[in-house]
């Protein structure tokens, strides 16, 4: 029997709840907005995104931050639906990284 | 003419600005994804900006308005419980994107608490974005088997003769807790009452704030 | 609220299927095999198990609000009167004795 790594209700070992709140970064607000826009346009359904997150490798799921998980699952669903390819995204990112540079 | 979307001249996000070369390997990919979606005409800048504005317009102030009105007006409260989306619209709050909306009324003998153990479902059209703690693994793990322990961390200790009811929102239902009206608030206006209704009291981990005693 | 064709009604005792099904399941692991009662019939909704894999979610399934005594869900739970409520689809529920 396989319990999904996201299916964590009641699992032992949870600690105190960190009540601090971080101010959202630009990239998080953007991830949120793109995700919602894709939903509004019917390009992806909420349950598809959830399913992709659930299929994520367990280590990745637990190590990524909340919006990193969203970006990763958004990318996976867009590739699955043949809207984008991994290669395209890598190449576009490489273009940007040249402009962003390093200090 | 091709606009360079990698440079944030658009200022369509108003968050904390990180130098982009400092972003994590995953985080930075959102910029590449955005550019490609725009280039392919799947989304427009307007689509993205609309979502940002939609989200910014939603905050716990919406929920507070609903709760304060329910406290003051018993007929409104009845309508709210019977048909929450219609009651929201009466106050100009658009909850139509919620598939099914249920209001959980706290009483002297019952306290409700809401969680989504499987992800982080939350009534965003009413309350805006969920707080970080609501999305945390610890909250998702412990709410269902140790709700009183969680409440205690937020300063809420219901006595044993009060029933604690935890809702795990696993499907399309979104829940809003209607907290108990604090004692000694009969003299307060709706606007003053709204200030007592915190986001956390509408998730159920806390009570509404107590009234500030009136100085005679 | 009632849905014609709903298998259960408010007050019926039900048991959650103890099943390990592949795919996008919204019935949490911790509640599988547990017995509670129907508190409310939410109505008919698209099936997430289909939607999650690009399906159209049809046929719609009846969704219930099912309540459980906390003491019946966890090995140790100290306050007798506390309850746990979960939204569960009809195909995950069986009549309980």
The reply to whether B209 falls in a domain is no
Closest CB from B42, B129, B137 relative to A8: B137
* Mean local confidence (pLDDT), A3-15: 95
Alpha-carbon gap, residue B173 to C22, rounded angstroms? 23
Helix (H) or strand (E) holding A53: helix A46-55
Alpha-carbon gap, residue B96 to B143, rounded angstroms? 28
Task: Supply the CATH number for residue B128's domain.
Answer: 3.90.330.10
What pLDDT is stored for residue A8 in this prediction? Answer: 96
**What is the domain count for chain B?**
2
Query: Any catalytic annotation for residue B121?
Result: yes
What pLDDT is stored for residue B213 in this prediction? Answer: 65
Checking if the pLDDT of B90 tops 60, the result is yes
Q: How far is A96 from chain C (nearest CA, A)?
A: 32
> Do B85 and B158 fall within a single domain?
yes
What pLDDT is stored for residue A59 in this prediction? Answer: 84
The reply to whether B12 falls in a domain is no
What pLDDT is stored for residue B1 in this prediction? Answer: 42
Q: Which residues contact A88 (CB under 8 A, 6 or more apart)?
A: B36
* Mean local confidence (pLDDT), B9-37: 83
Q: What residues make up the domain containing B37?
A: 20-56
> Do B39 and B110 fall within a single domain?
no
The reply to whether C49 falls in a domain is yes
pLDDT class of B13 with cuts at 50, 70, 90? low
Helix (H, G, I), strand (E, B) or coil at B33: helix
> Do B47 and B67 fall within a single domain?
no
The reply to whether C6 falls in a domain is no
The reply to whether B109 falls in a domain is yes
Q: Which residues in chain B have Cβ-Cβ distances shorter than 8 Å to C74?
A: 145
Chain B contact partners (≥3 CB pairs within 8 A): A, C
Say which of B88, B116, B169, B201 is annotated catalytic: B116
Residues 16-75 of C with CB under 8 A from A: 20, 23-25, 28-31, 48, 51-54, 57, 73-74
Q: Which residues in chain A have Cβ-Cβ distances shorter than 8 Å to C53?
A: 48, 51
Secondary structure, 3-state, chain C: CCCCCCCCCCCCEEEECCCCCCCCCCCCHHHCCCEEEEEEEEEEECCHHHHCCCCCCCCCEEEEEEEEEHHHHCCCCCCCCCEEEEEEEHHHEEECC
Q: Which residues in chain B have Cβ-Cβ distances shorter than 8 Å to A15?
A: 138
> Do B103 and B37 fall within a single domain?
no
The two structure tokens encoding residue B153: 């961390």
> Do B44 and B79 fall within a single domain?
no
* Domain ranges (residues) in chain A: 42-100
Residues 157-186 of B with CB under 8 A from A: 168
> Do B177 and B92 fall within a single domain?
yes
> Do B148 and B91 fall within a single domain?
yes
Q: What residues make up the domain containing C28?
A: 13-95
Report the Cα–Cα distance between both ends of chain A, in Å, rounded: 50
What pLDDT is stored for residue B7 in this prediction? Answer: 46
Using the Cβ of C82 and the Cβ atoms of chain B, whether some distance falls under 8 Å is answered with: yes
The reply to whether C3 falls in a domain is no
Asked whether the beta carbons of residue A48 and residue C29 sit closer than 8 angstroms, the reply is no
């Amino acid at each position: 029997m396989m319990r999904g790594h996201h299916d964590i209700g009641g699992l032992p070992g949870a600690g105190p709840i960190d009540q601090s709140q971080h101010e959202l970064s630009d990239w998080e607000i953007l991830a949120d907005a793109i995700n919602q826009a894709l939903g509004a346009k019917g390009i992806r359904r909420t349950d598809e995104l959830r399913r992709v997150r659930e299929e994520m490798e367990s280590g990745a799921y637990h190590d990524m931050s909340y919006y990193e998980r969203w970006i990763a699952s958004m990318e996976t669903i867009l590739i699955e639906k043949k809207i984008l390819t991994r290669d395209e995204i890598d190449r576009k990112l490489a273009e940007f990284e040249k402009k962003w540079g390093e200090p | 003419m091709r606009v360079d979307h990698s440079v944030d001249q658009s200022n369509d996000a108003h968050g904390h600005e990180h130098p982009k070369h400092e972003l994590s390997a995953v985080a930075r990919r959102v910029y590449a994804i955005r550019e490609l979606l725009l280039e392919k005409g799947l989304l427009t800048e307007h689509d993205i900006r609309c979502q940002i504005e939609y989200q910014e317009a939603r905050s716990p102030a919406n929920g507070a308005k609903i709760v304060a009105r329910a406290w003051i007006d018993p007929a409104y409260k009845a309508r709210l419980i019977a048909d929450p989306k219609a009651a929201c619209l009466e106050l100009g709050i658009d909850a139509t994107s919620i598939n099914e909306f249920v209001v959980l009324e706290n009483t002297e003998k019952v306290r409700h608490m809401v969680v989504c153990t499987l992800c982080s479902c939350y009534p965003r059209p009413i309350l805006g974005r969920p707080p970080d703690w609501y999305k945390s693994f610890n909250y998702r793990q412990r709410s269902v088997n140790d709700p009183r322990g969680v409440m205690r961390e937020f300063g809420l200790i219901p006595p044993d003769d009060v029933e604690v009811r935890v809702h795990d929102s696993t499907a399309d239902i979104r829940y809003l807790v209607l907290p108990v009206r604090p004692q000694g608030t009969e003299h307060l206006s709706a606007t003053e009452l709204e200030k007592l209704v915190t986001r956390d009291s509408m998730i159920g981990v806390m009570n509404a704030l107590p009234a500030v005693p009136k100085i005679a | 609220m009632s849905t014609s064709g709903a298998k259960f009604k408010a007050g019926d005792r039900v048991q959650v299927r103890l099943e390990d099904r592949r795919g996008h399941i919204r019935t949490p692991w911790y509640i599988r095999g547990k017995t509670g009662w129907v508190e409310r019939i939410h109505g008919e909704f698209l099936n997430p198990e289909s939607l999650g894999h690009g399906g159209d979610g049809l046929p719609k399934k009846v969704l219930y609000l099912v309540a459980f005594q906390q003491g019946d869900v966890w090995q140790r739970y100290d306050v007798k009167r506390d309850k746990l409520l979960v939204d569960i689809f009809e195909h995950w529920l069986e009549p309980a004795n």
